[in-house]
Amino acid sequence: MAYDRVADEQSDGRIEEAKQFLRLCNDSDSNNRAEALDDVRFAAGDQWPVDVQNSRVLEARPCLTINKLDAYIRQICNQQRQQRPRIKVHGMNNESDAKVAEIITGITRHIENQSDADQAYDHAFEYCVKMGWGYWRVTTDYVRDDSFDQEIYIKRIENPFTVYFDPNSVQPDGSDAEKCLVTTVVSKAVFKTMYPDAESEQGFSSRGTGDTESEWVTKEDIRIAEYFYTERTKEMLLQLSDGTTGFSDEIPKKEVLEAAGITVVDKRETWRKKIKWCKLTAMQILEEGEWAGKYIPIVPVYGQEVRVDDKHKKFGLVRMAKDPQRMYNYWSTALTESVALAPKAKWLLAEGQDEGHENEWAMANIKAMPVLRYKQTDIEGRMAPAPTRLQPEPPPAGIVTALQGLNGDLQAVVGIFDPSQLPQGNMSGKALQGQQMQVDMTNFHYYDNLTRSIRHTGRIILDLIPKIYDRERVMRIIGDDGKPEMVTINQQGQDENGVSKVLNDVTVGEYDVVMETGPGYNSKRQEAVDSMVQMLSVDPNLMQQAGDLIFRNMDFPGAEVIADRLAAVNPMAQIDDKSPIPPQVQMQLANAKQQIQQLQQQIQAEEMDKKYRATVQQQVQQAETEREMMRLKVKREDVMTRTDTQAHDTVIKTQTQLEIEHLKAQLALVLAQMNKTAEKEAEAEAVERAI
């Protein structure tokens, strides 16, 4: 917890100490506060001395205020809004980690985003420009009513006159402050609800210039003061044999160290700093505790500072511009008064020319008459010339010249000039940019002081992060491009070697803040696109290597989709931001992998080529072999066909011959039979004849 809130029953010397500190601040800073309050009123339009204004009002004379300062103040403030300083975290020792530094940077952006920190910065910067200083504060609070998780917040301080900062602080960001007092006003009803047992009949009545509004002393309200103060105690700092250091009351007992084989190798006396906090009224302490960090959580932003006769003077843009602005108001009023009191332009006409149209001519200088009718003759009937208008006396030339000179004086004092009055002609873009930078440099110290204060705010946040975000939790971090991402911090896990360790540990290591200034992410992205497009016209091959980056920086629907598709086929785009390997090494590995893949593709192509050639030759030989085999097969079949045909012919011939022989045999038998029968018949005939 940032505040360890404890009720205190008895008031102690801290109430008197707070009162004395307030009187010290008021005494040392009373002139600055009085002049600053007048600056704020002057910038708000209260620019006439009270006695002069009252006398002119009594005389019913004009009292004009042409507030040119407001436009100059808004110009400086809006330039700051266009180029907001940005916090970036870097590691400082061997226990820090680049990846954890990016996570802490994202946590810082998350804190600024959820706190609306830009409102606090802008509000303090506006007061810084107007009167010479402004404030915001860093605080902590629980995420929800039902949660033990805390968040860090940056809140604005609406009225800088309610802050009484350490007058002994000399650092431009207030980092060396030892004490600070912040007063607030609440109604007695709310006060009774917050502190039902506290006395509410009196308030914290001591106050300084600028903190004297009537509501601070009304019967319905009570004023509460927050008092931050520093306590330093003398303690013994020990260095152990394992390299760790700690105060004697934090180091384990000697027996425990001996059991672990750890010894004390060095020791020295030092002053231990603690920031204490209490909330009090003029009668009692309401709450008290210890602030978790080592800095007073009130951050000032200063305008211009100078020491005159050992007096520390603080002022802003308005202080030196009061006289030319007052003179401009006076001469503008004098010119207006001169023109208003000057006689109106009269008409010159002969007597009798307005006869019958007297009303029209009487209203000629009051109303915009469409026509004016007149007679061409005078009262005696003689011809008269047309009526003519007498021109009034012009405004005094001295007043007009004085106004023009005062306008230039006012611009010279504030350091902001009208662009139309700068040298004109054919100028390059760089020349125009250089001319504008020269004009902006006049008031750059305001922006630079704001950058210092935001850097100190970053260091306060860095000091609080290990104490507020000390447990495992899922947090939103915000990148440079404003895109959120969920990350688990202080997570128990294992590294790539399987060793147990705390991943994304934000409680170890030393980190520092480096500020980024200049154009924001969107402006840089547009400039990057313009430069990339110009490089593409010189080297079109750049699209193959960085096409995804070019489209990702463009701002039109579908640009991200095109970038993702180009990145999918580009090995150089496969960079893992969450990997512990640095992006440069990842890019080198990806480049080497791409070269290896190209070499492998070449080898595969050569192998395929060789294989293709061997396959073609094999196919040719196989085709020739098949053709030869087919020729031999055809020849063999031809031979076999011929052999079969000859054998068939032989068989048929043999069978035919056998059949012929068989027929011959049968014929012979028939013939023999016929001969035998004939012989028998012959014998029989012979016998018959013989008989």
Q: What ranges do the domains of the chain cover?
A: 521-574
Q: Are 37 and 320 in contact (CB under 8 A)?
A: no
Model-wide pTM > 0.85: no
Which single residue is written with the structure tokens 């196919």?
619
Residue 107 CB partners (closer than 8 Å, separation 6+): 465, 469, 475, 477, 489, 506
> Tokens at residue 232, please?
């330093």
CA Rg value for the chain: 53
Q: Are 493 and 503 in contact (CB under 8 A)?
A: yes
In whole angstroms, what is the distance from residue 317 CA to residue 414 CA? 6
Which single residue is written with the structure tokens 């002022």?
315
Total length of the chain: 691
The per-residue pLDDT for 640 is 76
Residue 265 CB partners (closer than 8 Å, separation 6+): 239, 240, 241
> Tokens at residue 379, please?
């009262």
The per-residue pLDDT for 643 is 73
Helices assigned H by DSSP within 12-68: 13-43, 50-58
In whole angstroms, what is the distance from residue 235 CA to residue 250 CA? 11
Q: Kindly list the averaged pLDDT for each block of 10 residues, start to end, along the chain of length 691.
A: 44 81 89 94 92 88 90 91 89 86 93 94 96 95 89 94 93 93 87 82 54 51 89 88 82 81 86 91 86 94 90 92 91 84 77 83 79 84 84 75 81 77 56 60 89 95 94 89 88 78 88 80 64 75 72 72 72 61 65 75 77 70 79 76 72 75 74 72 70 58
The per-residue pLDDT for 9 is 40
Phi, psi for residue 305 in degrees, rounded to 5 = -135, 145
In whole angstroms, what is the distance from residue 257 CA to residue 263 CA? 6
- Centroid of chain to Cα 571: 28
Q: Are 387 and 349 in contact (CB under 8 A)?
A: yes
Listing DSSP states for 465-483 in one string gives HHHHS-S-EEEEEE-TTS-
Neighbouring C-beta atoms of residue 132, cutoff 10 Å: 24
DSSP state for residue 383 in the 8-state scheme = B
In whole angstroms, what is the distance from residue 70 CA to residue 410 CA? 12
In whole angstroms, what is the distance from residue 241 CA to residue 229 CA? 35
In whole angstroms, what is the distance from residue 580 CA to residue 562 CA? 28
Burial class (CB in 10 A: 0-12, 13-18, 19+), 71: exposed
Q: Are 481 and 66 in contact (CB under 8 A)?
A: no
> Tokens at residue 90, please?
């870097």
Helices assigned H by DSSP within 289-396: 317-341, 358-362
The per-residue pLDDT for 36 is 95
The continuous run of DSSP H or E covering 445 comes out as helix 444-468
Residues forming beta bridges with residue 273, ordered by sequence position: 232
What letters, b where the CB count within 10 A reaches 16 and e where it falls short, cover 204-241?
A: bebbbbbbeeeebeeeebbbbbbbbbbeeeeeebbebe
Residue type, 673: Q
Residue 511 CB partners (closer than 8 Å, separation 6+): 89, 90, 91, 92, 96, 101, 104, 462
> Tokens at residue 508, please?
């170890």
In whole angstroms, what is the distance from residue 273 CA to residue 594 CA? 56
Three-class DSSP category at 187: strand
The per-residue pLDDT for 217 is 40
The per-residue pLDDT for 259 is 82
Q: Are 202 and 283 in contact (CB under 8 A)?
A: yes
